[in-house]
Structures are given as C-alpha cells and as structure tokens.
Amino acid sequence: MTLRTLLAIAVGISAAGAALASDYIIVQSTTSTANSGLYEEILPRFRAQSGTEVRVVAVGTGQALKNAANCDGDVLLVHARAAEQEFVTSGFGTARFDVMYNDFVLVGPSGDPAGVSQTQSAADALDRIAERQAVFVSRGDDSGTHKVETGLWRTAPDAQSSRWYRELGAGMGATLNAAVAMGAYTLTDRATWLSFGNRGAHQVLLEGDPALFNQYGVIAVSPEHCPRVKADAAQGFVDWLIGPDGQSAIAAFQINGTQLFVPNAK
Amino acid sequence: MFDFATAFAEAFALVFAGDAALVQIVGLSLWVSGCAVLISCLLGLPLGAALAMTRFAGRRALVVAMSALMGLPPVVVGLTLYLMLSQSGPFAVFELLYTPTAMIIAQVVLVTPIVTTLTRQVIEDLDRDLSETLRALRASWFDRVGTLLWEARLALVTAALAGMGRALAEVGAVMIVGGNINHATRVMTTSIALETSRGELALALALGLVLLALSLGINAAVLGLRDRAEHQVAHG
C-alpha cells in the first residue's frame, strides 16, 4: 500500500467523522427507491437548498414501517397505501402524502413457458402460471411489492404444497437474482428492474394493468409519538418532496433515457 | 456464464482510480473493525488470562460459554443491539443507532469471545510450562498474568488477527445497526450486499476482491512484524 493510499484512507476516516457532526435526518425507505439511485440524484439538491443532510436506511416496506414506528427514523417513504394510512391513524405519523408513482411489471424468462405475454391482466397471467405450474418466486418478506403480489392472485398459491411457488423471504434484488438463476417468473417494481444489472435473458412479459399501479407515499414521523424526532427538518423534507422543487427533481431522474418515477403530489 | 475476468478488471480499476467513495468505505471498514478488535483485545486478553489461571466455581461453564459464543450469528447480535439502541429501546438516550459507534459495539460483541477463548488456550498451555518457575520466583498472581501475557505475545497476535478476520468479514450485524447509510455507515461488506441486490454482480465481486486484498495486506504486515520480533527474541 502506498503512502498516497494511506493518506486517502485517513482522509476518508476524517470525512466520515465530519459527516457525523453535521445535522441530519434519517429516512426509512423502501429498497426500490434507494437501489434505483433516486436518492443520489435528488438528495444533493435538497441539501443545497436546505442545508439538511438526509441519511437513507433502505429496507423492505414492512421493516421500514416497524423501524419508523419504533421512532428510528424521522421520515418514512414506502409504497403500501393501506399500511401507510394505518401508520398515520395509529398516531405514528403526522400525515401521509402521495409523492410519485410508477408501476409493477411481471418479468420472466424470454421463452415465456406459461404464455403470460398473451394475457391482458395480471390476474389472468398469474392464473396461467398456476395452471402450467411454472416456477414463480415471491418476495415473501411482507414488503410493499410482496403485499401487492399476494393481492393479485385469484386463488392464493399455497407455498407449502405447491413446489412451483417459492417464497424467498428476500429483498427485490435478491429475488430478481434468484428468478434469473431459476428461470422463474416474479413481480418487480419497474425502477428496480430498470436499474438492475443482472437481468440475464429475462424480460418484462406483462405491464400496463391498472392493478399494477405503484404509488409511493411519504410521512413525517409524529413528534407526539416520538419526542426525539427531528420534526422540523423532517417536515421540511416532506414539504420539499411534494413541492415544485422536489417534484421536478424526481421527474428529472432517468436511467438510460427512461424516467423511473412520475411525480404526482397534489 | 458469469465473467470472472470482468470482476478482476473492475477490482483493479476501482483500486487504481482511487475512487473517493471506495476510499471512504474502506476507511470506515478499517476504522470500525480496527476499533472493535482493539477494544476486544483490551477486554479479551485479561479475561482469557484470568480464565486460564484462576480456579473458581462455574469456571468450566464460563469457558464453554465463551467458546460457544465464538459462533454467535452476527444477525442475531445486530438484531439484539438494534432492539437495545432503538429509540423505543432501553438505551435510546445515547442515540447510537445508525452510527459507526453502534457498529463497533456490535463487532466487539462478536470478536471478544474469540480473543478471550484463544487467549485462555494459549495462556493455559504456557502456564503449564512456566508455572513452576513462576512459583519458585514467588511471583504474585498479577505478576504471573502479566508475565504470561508478555511471554505469549507472539501467539496472541494470531488471536487478534482471528478477531480482525471475523470483524472485517461479518455483514449481518453492521447492516442492521449501521443501516448501510451512504457516506455515513457503509462499509465493505454492506456495499457488497448492496451491489449484489442491485444485480451489479461484477462490481460486488470486485469489492469482495478488494476486501480480500485488504485482509491479506493486514495479515502479511502483522505476521511480518511478528516474525521480526520473534527473530529479535531468538537472537536478542
């Protein structure tokens, strides 16, 4: 190791120390927004305008809701509307706002053995997968995507008895890695899919069903429930996200020329 | 077929570009694991020596327990520590969750049993050889512990290195209590997990190779120093 590398590491350590000293808020976020690179695009803009550093903890929606309910975050950004509304009515959050949307897509091997690309709706596509007993991997982790997936089946597959339906208990990325390796179908949000590097020969086989709408919401954690929360900075971030500056920052985020999220705050 | 050559090329590119983000991540990894091993040695060396040289009721049980704790699953340590440091946990006032300090504490819990157990073994063996001499010299208990730790210092370096290996390699604990926050608590192993989940498998493996090289460098440096010290002991 050269002296220059050693020096660089020392600078790295002190930079990490300096970052600790400044003022920051913690966002409990779903992984899809974090893995896509959205935050790297929009957070520097927010910091430039407000001076507040935003630290993102990316976990599944289920875990994000629990962490925020434990007061281990100042802001919650997830995609499971019913659970978000319950979070607010339970007194954990101040109010819920729509931020942006995109959609879920059904991906699978390009050969499409179950023929889902010939169907028009997600429910029909899943029926076919069940009929043909084509392998389908489910997140199985109580995440936003998992909740949507389980709600799409006309007849819920039994993970115990049906060998073709495999519950992973893993994040979106791990599930996609597994789906590609197994040649299996799975449901994913479009942002994760577009930013995913290991697609193999997998393709989007079904999209555009209104049932696949994917709404993201943002909630500031309630200072009444969590006295130590940084309420002002948290509300500042929420207001920025649903305001014109945040909304245009979200709209500007693209991967390979494709916009990943459509801002739709009211 | 995954292209392993790409991963190697990417690893070299990362290192030689001196990528600022990588430097920060490597720096934090070394800082967190280095602090954890240092603290674990401060706790584990005396504790291991005491366990080796003291006979008391329940000693056997404690020895077995320490040995078993070497196999603590990091994710369990992370989860337990999360529940304690959480704002709804008993240690909320310290506001340590999602900080490098929390990560150091988690790794101390993982590394201390390793240092303690290996120290106990080394000191026990050495005590068998030296106990008569030390008794003849009428050395006090504390003098004996000090003498044995000093005499065993070269062997104990291996104990510290084993601890460093565990600390640098684990991902389960630091992921939960650190949160893998960019520029704040992201270390080598959590970066590898993140890039894997993003499907950037070549980059993930490249980071793995950098971590491996780092571990190799630390071990070569420490063992090199140890050999030189041994040489001096033999001829000095």
Q: What is the pLDDT of residue A21?
A: 44
Q: What is the mean pLDDT of residues A175-180?
A: 95
pLDDT 10s digits, A16-45: 544 444 589 999 999 989 989 999 999 999
Q: What is the pLDDT of residue A3?
A: 53
> How many CB pairs (< 8 A) connect A and B?
106
Put simply, whether B179 touches A (Cβ < 8 Å) is yes
How far A214 CA lies from chain B's nearest CA (Å)? 20
∠ CA A226-A90-A54, nearest 5°, is 45
Pairing state of beta strands A93-109 and A186-189? antiparallel
Taken in order of first residue, the domains within chain A and their CATH numbers are: 25-101+215-263 (3.40.190.10), 107-212 (3.40.190.10)
Put simply, whether B103 touches A (Cβ < 8 Å) is no
> Which of B92, B181, B199 lies closest to A57 in CB terms?
B181
ipTM: 0.84
pLDDT 10s digits, B10-62: 888 888 888 888 999 999 999 999 999 999 999 999 999 999 988 899 999 99
Question: Is A172–B86 a contact, with Cβ atoms under 8 angstroms apart?
Answer: no
> Which of A8, A24, A198 lies closest to B199 in CB terms?
A198
Residue A121 reports pLDDT greater than 90: yes
- Positive or negative, the CA dihedral B100, B101, B105, B111 is positive
Put simply, whether B199 touches A (Cβ < 8 Å) is yes
Interface probe, candidates A4, A28, A47, A67, chain B, greatest B C-beta count within 10 A = A67
- Domain layout of chain B by residue ranges: 20-235
> Which of B23, B97, B183 lies closest to A9 in CB terms?
B23
Residue showing tokens 């959205």? A38
Q: Which residues of B touch A223 (CB under 8 A)?
A: none
Distance CA A39, CA A33 (A): 7
Query: In the predicted model, what is the mean pLDDT of chain A?
Result: 91
How far A176 CA lies from chain B's nearest CA (Å)? 8
Element (H or E) spanning B219, and its range? Answer: helix B201-235
- Closest-CA residue in chain A for B28? A13
> Which of B24, B184, B198 lies closest to A35 in CB terms?
B198
Q: What is the pLDDT of residue A2?
A: 55
Q: What is the pLDDT of residue A20?
A: 46
CA A16 to each of CA A58, B70, B176, B193: distance values in angstroms, whole numbers, following the listed order: 19, 30, 19, 20
Q: Which residues of B touch A10 (CB under 8 A)?
A: 27
Q: What is the mean pLDDT of residues A66-76?
A: 96
Identify the CA nearest to A192 among candidates A145, A147, A238, A151: A145
Question: Is A173–B196 a contact, with Cβ atoms under 8 angstroms apart?
Answer: yes
Which residue pairs, CB below 8 angstroms and at least 24 apart, start in B135-141?
A: B141/B53
> Which of A13, A24, A197 lies closest to B27 in CB terms?
A13
Q: What is the pLDDT of residue A4?
A: 60
Other Cβ atoms less than 10 A from the Cβ of B215: the count is: 17
Other Cβ atoms less than 10 A from the Cβ of B174: the count is: 33
Residue A66 reports pLDDT greater than 50: yes
Residue A10 reports pLDDT greater than 60: no
Question: Is A57–B201 a contact, with Cβ atoms under 8 angstroms apart?
Answer: no
pLDDT 10s digits, A195-246: 999 999 999 999 999 999 999 999 999 999 999 999 999 999 999 999 999 9
Contact between A216 and A99 (Cβ < 8 Å): yes
Distance CA B176, CA B38 (A): 22
Q: What is the mean pLDDT of residues A243-252?
A: 97
Identify the CA nearest to B97 among candidates B118, B115, B79, B111: B79
The highest-level CATH class for domain B20-235 is mainly alpha
pLDDT 10s digits, B73-84: 999 999 999 999
Share of chain A above pLDDT 70, in %: 92
Give residues 53 to 112 of A whose Cβ lies within 8 Å of B: 55-58, 67, 70-72
Q: Six-digit token pair at A220?
A: 């500031």
Q: Six-digit token pair at A84?
A: 């978000």
pLDDT 10s digits, B172-199: 999 999 999 999 999 999 999 999 999 9
How far B91 CA lies from chain A's nearest CA (Å)? 12
